[in-house]
Chain A
Amino acid sequence: MPTVVRNLGVFLISFLLFSLVLSVPAWAQPAPVDFIRDVRPILATHCFQCHGPDAASRKANLRLDVADGLKRKTNSGRLVVVPGKPQESELFVRITSKQPDYRMPPPSAEQQLTEQDIEVLRRWIEQGAPWQEHWAYQTPVKPTVPQVGDRSWCRNPIDRFILARLEREGLSPSPEADKETLIRRVTFDLTGLPPTPAEVDAFLRDDRPDAYERLVDRLLASPRYGEHMARFWLDAARYGDTHGLHLDNYREMWPYRDWVIKAFNQNLPYDQFIIWQLAGDLLPNPTLDQLVATGFNRAHVTTNEGGSIVEEVYVRNVVDRVVTTATVFMGLTFDCARCHDHKYDPFTMKDFYSMFAFFNSLDGSPMDGNRKDPPPVIKVPTREQRRRMAALERQIEALEQKLREPWPAVDQAQREWEAAVLAELAKERAELALGDWYWVGPFGSVKRYLWSRKHGPEGKPIDLSQTFKTAAGELKWQHRPDWADGKVHTDLPGNEAANFLYRKIVAAEPRKVKVSLGSDDAIKVYLNGKLVFQKNVHRGVAPDQDTVELSLEKGDNHLLIKIINYGGGSGYYFKVLDQAASVPPELAEILKVPAEKRTDEQKARLRDHFRNKVCQLPELVEVRQQLAALRKARTDLDRQIATTLIFRERKQPKPAFILYRGEYDKPRDRVDRATPAILPPMKPDMPKNRLGFAMWLVDRDHPLTARVTVNRFWQQVFGVGLVKTAEDFGVQGELPSHPELLDWLAVDFQDHGWDVKRFMRLIVTSATYRQSSRITPELYRRDPENRLLARGPRFRLDAEMLRDQALAVSGLLCLKMGGPSVKPPQPDGLWFAVGYSGSNTVRFKKDSGHDKVHRRTVYTFIKRTAPPPQLSIFDAPSRESTCVRRERTNTPLQALALWNDPQYVECARGLAERALREAGATAEERVRFMYRLCTARWPDATRLAELIDLARDLHEIYAAHPDEARKLIAIGEYPPDPSFDPIELATWTMVANTILNLDEVVTKN
């Protein structure tokens, strides 16, 4: 049978049988057993351990995970399985044997077959022992949309699949939800925020037939859409703001988060979304965005724990990349194959390490150095920073140009100066000559290492042609003839970084010379390789902060100064206190050459020296000052530009080996890059690297990527995926509830260019989505998890939505997008309770200001070893490892958070202030106003009465305790509006707090 037809058959059967599972156990059915649903799980659980894909632990050379395994003859002379004849099948004889040494599974096995299991296997053999490959490894083919009885209900093909199933179950869909419920539901699902009353009003007024579709289009176009979609992806990508292990220091990666948001908002086709993240660096002439996207493979946790073995950490990092890639894109539980061939799915250790070979060649250390920018990284200026930088470059270039051009007045002065210097040189040989400055930096590092460890040129003979590799790229020595002595220089770059200054000093005789120094911050001075002075201070630079006496040798002396910046600006000051020659020795040599014989370079050096250091003509001095100011502005700006971790391939890929038992120090056979053997192979035009791997993932033949993707989007909206185990599409995963629909969606998604907005629109405009979520006892009994979708989705809002909703309805929400992660208030001491004393995230310091504490939650700073409680209490993952499906729990700690978290209290006050300001003077008007903001509906009489009663009782309490009222309303980032009566405001704050805790408010209805 051609694969296509066979697959369809398989689906049809499993499709039909799945429906039975929901009501009655399968074994009780007289209907034929289904291999995939009934038989394979038994074989997998009880047999595959010893007779499965894992060659190492396979016994008797017998496999029960492949069709061929059943056809083998065993030692007894019987075939493993004789179709139609259980009693002649070795398999059946063994599982029913009474002899302990013959029986399978052996009596020592942890799990024994039940009588029902044996009965299923018996009937399966009796029915001819049909074999089917696992559905998820077959390329999906677009099925025909099923016929249904009631076509009028259906709005798009999704509904036909859903309805066909419901009709078979004898169920009918629920009526459409009312418009208020609908706009709140869809606004949350597409933007993560509630609708405003004005938006609700507009929708209610709009009686055009496509009013709902128009609403959906408006939401899809909102920038809030990308912020909402991104946070699901950030769970999968395990994005965090710290390294996650040991010190758990700050890691700067938020440009990656911003890129994800942008990608969703710009509706980057999802295949490109995948390719950029896995291999953006390997695309031809990659753009900044494509490079930033590769942060996906750097987002895993890293360590720099003292004592770590680098090779072990390297293996762990790569394993995380492989496991995450397999889970997120293919729904495969690849981790099992790290130590042994997979026990259930047809994946071998060779498959695992062949995939490992794609991801193991990062051009950077596996250790994070405890720094925010472990290489490779890239600078990501904002648009504004880029604009300012270009402007500064232009201005600097113009002034530099001016300093190079002929300037009659200045040139005249130079000629006079040259003559004077020559005359002086002729008189007596200078005792001391100072060379020009050379500079290299910045060398970034962890603060305490800046002082304690050697960087760059430190500890080695100076070689001005040497280059230094750093996170930010390669550094070279720069000639700085413009750095004049006796002046404060404040343009050393880098934050928490070291810079080095070098100059040659030529002494005619051995002598001592005193120099005066200044530095921001710490300073070390080396003369001829010896440390002659050091001072570890935090300070701003000023003239004459320290004096050092240098003992010069006769001839060349090498002076190296290390300036350590502990943060903010950085600079130095240098001046020789004793008399020195008026020109550096190399210039003296040039001067001796007659003017007309000097090379262009010699002329330029003389000119630069004169114009930069000697000339005092006011018009020139002004240019010099302007230039200095601009350069300082440029270094300051550069310091502010964020970096982000990216993936860059090393020139020579690292070899990969099968690691025995997954242990880093037990490499066995070397393996090449290859995709898992059971899946369709890479095509010839796909390069054997991450780019080829990514292309393979999004190829039409790939059976998993599109299915896994659409399933997650489905899960996002309906709460449960069509495959419930979104992380596992393998043999042990759950079968799809609607296999044909899943395939239809997957193929349709690819047919339409992996267009995510189109796909989300398809889902939310379906009649299935638009159903009311009311649950009858009968329906609940039939389908508690709502897998059949005879009603609309209803579940608690996620952590981010809850907080964003409270901020939105209170009017506090700040919609500023992007930028560094922010730290809204959290209880004291959570970081300190667990943090390593030397970590730079050991103390939490709340941000202040509206644009920090009232931002959308997707921008909240995530310290991975102690994530924000407002998130984790509501099931947000710690981002230590990939997460494609959140739990959804209902606990008392959640009630406490929504009641008492100061930020929720502040939101309640904000909501109350709005009510006092915008609603009328009566309790009824205020209740109606607040309730509608939070639910999109008007309260019914019961709720209205309940909340008015509440307000009356609270008012009585606060009137008796006005101090309490004042205390309550003082909570929050800003003081309350003084025009309100504290008793009133406190009363309504607590009414708002009550409303924000209602089931219908914390739930998507």
Chain B
Amino acid sequence: MDPIREHMLALTRRHFFGRMAMGLGTAALASLLQRAEANAASRTDVGRGILGSPHFAPKAKRAIYLFMAGGPAHMDLFDYKPNLKDWFDKDLPESVRMGQRLTTMTSGQKRLPIAPSKFKFKQCGQSGAWISELLPYHQRMVDDICIIKTLHTEAINHDPAITYICTGHQLPGRPSLGAWISYGLGSENDNLPTFIVMTPTWTGRKEAQALFNRLWGSGFLPTRHAGVALRRTGDPVLFLSNPDGVSPAVRRRTLEAIERINQQTYREIGDPETLTRIAQYEMAFRMQSSVPELLDISDEPKYILDMYGPDVYKPGTFARCALLARRMMERGVRFVQIFHRGWDQHGNIARDLPNQCRDVDQPCWALITDLKQRGLLDETLVVWGGEFGRTIYCQGKLTRENYGRDHHPRCFTIWMAGGGIKPGIVYGETDDFAYNIVENPVHIHDLNATILYCLGIDHKRLTYRFQGLDMRLTGVDRPVSPVMDIIT
């Protein structure tokens, strides 16, 4: 055992017990002082990641990914196509489709009639970006975000597509974006997880597509890099609360006994893993207070809460999750991903899409504004988007008032904001049918490379040897690069 490391560990423990004497409320402050020591206890998930330091100066220290699961209809929200008014119920020209494969939900349809968006658009801000009436708060923040209209993917069904964008591969088994970030950069704090996931409620289509634990899983990376999914009911972090009848005092007393006996075991056996275990038990105990403190929003002033909209008062809503994401950023959580479901509008766009938008519109604006007013937006990357787009042609019954749309992989819209991203621009252009990309395509791998870039990571150099290959998030099947045009 390295005597220096041992010494540092002893220091860590003294701080820990010393702090308990001071009271738990100071945990967050103390954690700042303590990080250096905690780093010495390598092999815990506290401390630096595998990279040691980033590949280049990071533009953002942390990130929030607002994932719209199901595939938002880009032409009803961001990708404005006024000329299509005249194309109502006309067939999509074959010259546009160009043999594009269809899902078997519409490949059997006799016609592929065009359904122009029924929603009104408005040109907004300095940038002059067009935004749908469904997103009035987005209309107010166009100058803070960068809209990319030319994302594309190969997958055309949900499970492979969402697995692809979240893990870089269409089949299960690979680490998720957040796991890679955790592996590469490690934690910025030592009493909260590095990567937190939230799965809020939604009000659009009730029969929502599934999520999978693999979307925030660690794949072949060590499982400590997996996202910790906060739960809507019960303990926010699994098994966080003491059982009924076990007070913090009881828990603390048993922890002391565990620590002392484990110290004894270490003296007898000499296994460094025992020391790691001691550190992990200490962190578990800290999490028992730091997580509830994180989730307790009673210290938020009313005007802040109101900014996020009325839903913020209901636990488990997207608005609440957005607020919590901001609190996590303040506490040094490296990566937060919110999966908002219900965006799979195969039919009844008129009813479901406005509901979906209402869930997220104001909270997104509030999140950006809130981060900005705290000076955090510069060091926080925010990403909004789904796994693919939707077809311009109608699935099912087409009327002026209502229609449905199938999955569309060839182009879809996302937006990014914050650390490293040029605000107030629109990037990429699609054709008149919001069907093909005509300028500046961005593959989902490019998006992931851009996210990593903003965090200071070269996507080609963050690798893990598995099955004889240096695996990376962005794969090896196509050339990939960050979208430098949108980076500051």
Residue of B210, B243, B254, B468 touching A728 (CB-CB under 8 A): B468
A896 in contact with B159 (CB, 8 Å): no
Given contacts A307-B157, A902-B243, list 5 more A-B pairs with CB under 8 A. A725-B468, A880-B173, A899-B254, A994-B254, A994-B257
Q: Which 9 A-B pairs have the closest CB atoms?
A: A968-B245, A307-B103, A732-B468, A967-B245, A895-B284, A836-B210, A880-B172, A892-B284, A333-B467
Segment of A580-588, A620-628, A695-703, A940-948 engaged in the interface with chain B: A940-948
A834 in contact with B213 (CB, 8 Å): yes
Q: How far is B172's CA from A427's CA once the two chains are assembled, in angstroms? A: 76
A775 in contact with B270 (CB, 8 Å): yes
Residue of A308, A889, A950, A966 touching B254 (CB-CB under 8 A): A950
| Contact of A969 with B by CB under 8 A | yes
A892 in contact with B250 (CB, 8 Å): no
- If the complex has contacts A246-B210, A887-B222, are A834 and B238 also in contact, measured as CB distance less than 8 A? no
Q: Which residues of A contact B105 (CB under 8 A)?
A: 306-307
Q: How far is B172's CA from A316's CA once the two chains are assembled, in angstroms? A: 11
Q: Which residues of A contact B243 (CB under 8 A)?
A: 900, 902, 905, 968, 971
B242 in contact with A865 (CB, 8 Å): no
- B353 CB to closest chain A CB (Å) equals 18
B214 in contact with A865 (CB, 8 Å): yes
Q: How far is B486's CA from A616's CA once the two chains are assembled, in angstroms? A: 90
A946 in contact with B260 (CB, 8 Å): yes
Q: How far is B271's CA from A775's CA once the two chains are assembled, in angstroms? A: 6
| Contact of A986 with B by CB under 8 A | yes
| Contact of B101 with A by CB under 8 A | yes
Q: How far is B156's CA from A838's CA once the two chains are assembled, in angstroms? A: 20
Interface string of B275-290 (1 = CB under 8 A from A): 0111011011101100
A990 in contact with B269 (CB, 8 Å): no
A794 in contact with B271 (CB, 8 Å): yes
A773 in contact with B271 (CB, 8 Å): yes
B245 in contact with A827 (CB, 8 Å): no
Q: Which residues of B contact A774 (CB under 8 A)?
A: 268-270
Name A's B-contacting residues (CB within 8 A): 110, 244-248, 301, 303, 305-310, 316, 320, 327, 333, 335-336, 339, 343-345, 661, 665, 725, 727-728, 730-733, 773-777, 780, 794-796, 827-830, 833-839, 865-867, 869, 872-873, 875, 878, 880-881, 887, 889-897, 899-902, 905, 942-943, 946-947, 949-950, 953-954, 957, 961, 964-971, 986, 990, 993-994, 997-1000, 1002-1003, 1005
B240 in contact with A950 (CB, 8 Å): no
B253 in contact with A305 (CB, 8 Å): no
B157 in contact with A244 (CB, 8 Å): no
Interface string of B228-255 (1 = CB under 8 A from A): 1101111101111111111101110110
Q: Which residues of B contact A730 (CB under 8 A)?
A: 468
Give the most central of B238, B253, B278: most A CB within 10 Å. B238
| Contact of B274 with A by CB under 8 A | yes
| Contact of B261 with A by CB under 8 A | yes
| Contact of B43 with A by CB under 8 A | yes
Say which size band chain B's interface belongs to. Answer: 35 or more
Interface string of B76-96 (1 = CB under 8 A from A): 000000000000000000000
- B42 CB to closest chain A CB (Å) equals 12
Q: How far is B231's CA from A836's CA once the two chains are assembled, in angstroms? A: 17
A899 in contact with B223 (CB, 8 Å): no
| Contact of B389 with A by CB under 8 A | no
Residue of B158, B242, B268 touching A899 (CB-CB under 8 A): B242
Q: Which residues of B contact A961 (CB under 8 A)?
A: 247
Q: Which residues of A contact B287 (CB under 8 A)?
A: 892, 896
A990 in contact with B254 (CB, 8 Å): yes
Segment of B21-29, B56-64, B201-209, B417-425 engaged in the interface with chain A: B201-209
Q: List 16 A-B contacts (CB under 8 A).
A: A246-B158, A248-B210, A306-B104, A309-B101, A333-B467, A345-B468, A833-B199, A835-B210, A865-B212, A866-B213, A878-B214, A890-B276, A891-B45, A891-B224, A896-B287, A999-B274
B237 in contact with A316 (CB, 8 Å): no
- A228 CB to closest chain B CB (Å) equals 22
B268 in contact with A947 (CB, 8 Å): no
Residue of B257, B265, B272 touching A947 (CB-CB under 8 A): B257
Q: Which residues of A contact B254 (CB under 8 A)?
A: 899, 950, 954, 990, 993-994, 997
Q: Which residues of A contact B465 (CB under 8 A)?
A: 732
Q: How far is B156's CA from A344's CA once the two chains are assembled, in angstroms? A: 32
Q: How far is B171's CA from A873's CA once the two chains are assembled, in angstroms? A: 22
Name B's A-contacting residues (CB within 8 A): 1, 43-45, 101, 103-105, 156-159, 171-173, 199, 206-214, 217, 222-224, 226, 228-229, 231-235, 237-247, 249-251, 253-254, 257-258, 260-262, 264-266, 268-274, 276-278, 280-281, 283-285, 287-288, 406-407, 460, 465, 467-469, 477
A301 in contact with B224 (CB, 8 Å): no
A333 in contact with B104 (CB, 8 Å): no
Q: Which residues of A contact B223 (CB under 8 A)?
A: 872-873, 875, 887, 889, 891
A900 in contact with B103 (CB, 8 Å): no
Residue of A661, A833, A967 touching B244 (CB-CB under 8 A): A967
- B277 CB to closest chain A CB (Å) equals 5
Q: Which residues of A contact B264 (CB under 8 A)?
A: 942-943
- If the complex has contacts A244-B172, A780-B270, A838-B207, are A827 and B231 also in contact, measured as CB distance less than 8 A? yes
Q: Which residues of A contact B156 (CB under 8 A)?
A: 307, 309
Closest to B103 in A: A307
Q: How far is B45's CA from A335's CA once the two chains are assembled, in angstroms? A: 31
Closest to B212 in A: A865
Q: Which residues of B contact A345 (CB under 8 A)?
A: 468
- B116 CB to closest chain A CB (Å) equals 23
Q: How far is B283's CA from A665's CA once the two chains are assembled, in angstroms? A: 51
Residue of B43, B172, B245 touching A966 (CB-CB under 8 A): B245
- A917 CB to closest chain B CB (Å) equals 21
A994 in contact with B258 (CB, 8 Å): yes
Q: Which residues of B contact A339 (CB under 8 A)?
A: 477
A998 in contact with B43 (CB, 8 Å): no
Q: How far is B269's CA from A873's CA once the two chains are assembled, in angstroms? A: 26
- B285 CB to closest chain A CB (Å) equals 8
- B438 CB to closest chain A CB (Å) equals 25
A776 in contact with B270 (CB, 8 Å): yes
- If the complex has contacts A890-B273, A900-B243, are A833 and B262 also in contact, measured as CB distance less than 8 A? no
B159 in contact with A827 (CB, 8 Å): no
Q: How far is B160's CA from A316's CA once the two chains are assembled, in angstroms? A: 11
B407 in contact with A869 (CB, 8 Å): no
B157 in contact with A837 (CB, 8 Å): no
Q: Which residues of A contact B278 (CB under 8 A)?
A: 999
A896 in contact with B240 (CB, 8 Å): yes
Closest to A943 in B: B261
Q: Which residues of B contact A247 (CB under 8 A)?
A: 210
Q: Which residues of B contact A900 (CB under 8 A)?
A: 235, 239-243, 246
A881 in contact with B239 (CB, 8 Å): no
Q: How far is B245's CA from A968's CA once the two chains are assembled, in angstroms? A: 4
Residue of B44, B258, B468, B469 touching A998 (CB-CB under 8 A): B258
Closest to A306 in B: B105
A998 in contact with B262 (CB, 8 Å): yes
Closest to A301 in B: B172
A892 in contact with B238 (CB, 8 Å): no
Q: How far is B277's CA from A1000's CA once the two chains are assembled, in angstroms? A: 11
B245 in contact with A333 (CB, 8 Å): no
Q: Which residues of B contact A993 (CB under 8 A)?
A: 254
Closest to A863 in B: B213
B280 in contact with A894 (CB, 8 Å): yes
Residue of A661, A733, A773 touching B269 (CB-CB under 8 A): A773
Q: Which residues of A contact B237 (CB under 8 A)?
A: 893, 896
Q: How far is B266's CA from A773's CA once the two chains are assembled, in angstroms? A: 12
Closest to A888 in B: B222
A986 in contact with B245 (CB, 8 Å): yes
B213 in contact with A865 (CB, 8 Å): yes
- If the complex has contacts A869-B238, A897-B239, A900-B241, are A305 and B158 also in contact, measured as CB distance less than 8 A? yes
Q: How far is B202's CA from A833's CA once the two chains are assembled, in angstroms? A: 12
A727 in contact with B467 (CB, 8 Å): yes
- If the complex has contacts A896-B239, A966-B245, A968-B244, are A836 and B213 also in contact, measured as CB distance less than 8 A? no
Q: How far is B287's CA from A899's CA once the two chains are assembled, in angstroms? A: 13
